[in-house]
Amino acid sequence: MRDWLTARPIAHRGLHEAAAGVIENTTSAFQAAIDGGYAIECDLQISADGEAMVHHDDALGRLTDGQGRLDTMTAAALKRVAFKATADRMLTLGELCDMAAGGTTLVLELKGRFAGDTRLATRTAQVLAGRNAPIAAMSFEPGLIAALRRLAPAIPLGLVAMQRQPGEPPAADATPWRYARAALAARPQFLAYRVQDLTSAPPLIARHLLRWPLLTWTVRTAEDRARGALHADQIIFEGFRP
């Protein structure tokens, strides 16, 4: 797993450039990453009818026309929603996998709310079943990774994490003790950690003691890139071309 997961810099939500009309997590951004020879990181949200949709936000409006939560709309309705000032429409996970079928590495981030809803893990496992491709999945929500491990044990799975800021309370149902138990149950195989926090204990333990591949996000500046080169195995980047 380590070889293909860390072989190429990973384009954060595709190789997007809003000023040029290339919006994150769209066909245009993914095709630009494929053409550039980069791996792709993307986000998944669940639709009302249980489809895995490629989108970061849990609601429409920031990048798209319309409004409303994705999990209250069907996949068919979401695929009709326009990204602002572009011809792109929202993709399903299956459509993205078809785009990347030539061998582009995909790193899928499953979005969740620490609420025990595993529908996204279920649909992700269904879509990826039988695909012989370099695809890994990760999430801030260890329950989604634990569910995906049960459903699709062959997929490399990881956790996304960051240091909690001083004075910032944990989520009500994601206290440190509950999170630690859930993370152990998920049995992750790699870690994706915020670039500003790379010298904290969790990424150091993951990389040097557990020997997990360590990805770092989101690398935007020369300082970020230098820190990532020193402390991580590969970067998840945006705003430049490595």
Q: How does pLDDT run across 22-65, given as a tens digit for each residue?
A: 999 999 999 999 999 999 999 999 999 999 999 999 999 999 99
DSSP string, 86-120: SS-BPEEHHHHHHHTTTT--EEEEE---SSS--HH
Lowest-pLDDT choice from 31-40, 125-134, 172-181: 172-181
This prediction's pTM: 0.95
For residues 48 and 192, what is the distance between their CA atoms, to the nearest angstrom? 28
* Percentage of residues of the chain with pLDDT beyond 70: 95
For residues 62 and 136, what is the distance between their CA atoms, to the nearest angstrom? 27
* Neighbour tally for 89: CB within 10 Å: 15
For range 180-184, the mean pLDDT: 86
pLDDT at 5 over 60: yes
Q: Is the separation of the CB atoms in 204 and 223 below 8 Å? A: no
Q: Own/partner pairs for 1-4, CB < 8 Å, 24+ apart? A: 1/136, 1/156, 1/189, 1/190, 1/213, 2/213, 2/233, 4/105, 4/134
Class of domain 2-237: alpha beta
For residues 85 and 22, what is the distance between their CA atoms, to the nearest angstrom? 10
